[in-house]
């Protein structure tokens, strides 16, 4: 079996891979996550996912390297990770009672090159108060998450509903991952990977 590497320090992405029965090595590359002028949110997350995977693949030519990046988009505003607790509360209140979009870019890189794609899901938040937002933020969960919430954690209590792939919101769209594997000549076999060619 080829070595599998997750080029991300996201515990959520690692959790999903473990859920699939896969045990990648984690190597988090240093990639500048600035936005390019005129770059769309989808182009941004795909570029960063590819960059993370390719940086690690350069030093690991015999591995399959997975990169990912997630952003939240609300009314044409990109919401990344909050800088501090005040920013997290402000972000959450800007999303309360409204719909927003979560975009996750995923890439797989190896000696045959890189394949990548973007998955998008619509999320609607319920109405909640500033006091509720502050209580959630005080627990610390939102601080390293795009949009300042974790749908798979306590942040589930903020969500009224979603249209699309739940795992896109978590940060690792499983269906997109399986499609990329197939394009790369691999297949998932419920707990393991095998080459198709």
Q: What percent of the chain has pLDDT over 70?
A: 99
Q: How confident is the model at residue 1 (pLDDT cuts 50, 70, 90)?
A: low
**Could you say which of 15, 32, 69, 165 is catalytic?**
69
Q: Strand 77-79 and strand 25-26: pairing?
A: unpaired
Domains of the chain: 3-195 (3.90.950.10)
Q: Is 165 a catalytic residue?
A: no
Residue 183 pLDDT more than 70?
Answer: yes
pLDDT at 2: 77
pLDDT at 84: 96
Segment holding 176, helix H or strand E: helix 174-183
Cα separation, 45 vs 149, whole angstroms: 18
3-state DSSP call for residue 102? strand
pLDDT at 33: 84
- Which residue's entry shows tokens 């394949």? 115
Q: CA torsion sign, 19 to 22 to 25 to 31?
A: negative
């Amino acid at each position: 079996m080829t070595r599998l590497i997750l080029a991300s320090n996201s515990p959520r992405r690692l959790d999903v891979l473990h859920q699939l029965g896969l045990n990648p090595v984690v190597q988090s590359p240093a990639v500048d996550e600035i936005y390019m002028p005129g770059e769309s949110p989808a182009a941004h997350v795909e570029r960063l996912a590819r960059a993370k995977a390719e940086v690690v693949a350069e030093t690991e030519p015999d591995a399959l390297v997975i990169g990912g990046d997630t952003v939240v988009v609300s009314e044409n505003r990109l919401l990344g990770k909050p800088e501090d607790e005040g920013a997290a509360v402000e972000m959450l209140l800007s999303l309360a009672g409204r719909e927003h979009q979560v975009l996750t870019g995923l890439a797989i890189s190896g000696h045959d090159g890189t394949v990548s794609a973007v998955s998008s899901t619509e999320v609607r938040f319920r109405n909640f108060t500033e006091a509720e937002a502050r209580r959630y933020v005080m627990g610390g969960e939102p601080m390293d998450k795009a949009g300042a919430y974790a749908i798979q954690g306590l942040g589930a209590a903020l969500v009224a509903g979603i249209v699309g792939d739940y795992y896109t919101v978590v940060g690792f769209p499983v269906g997109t991952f399986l499609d990329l594997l197939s394009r790369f000549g691999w297949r998932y076999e419920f707990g393991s990977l095998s080459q198709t060619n």
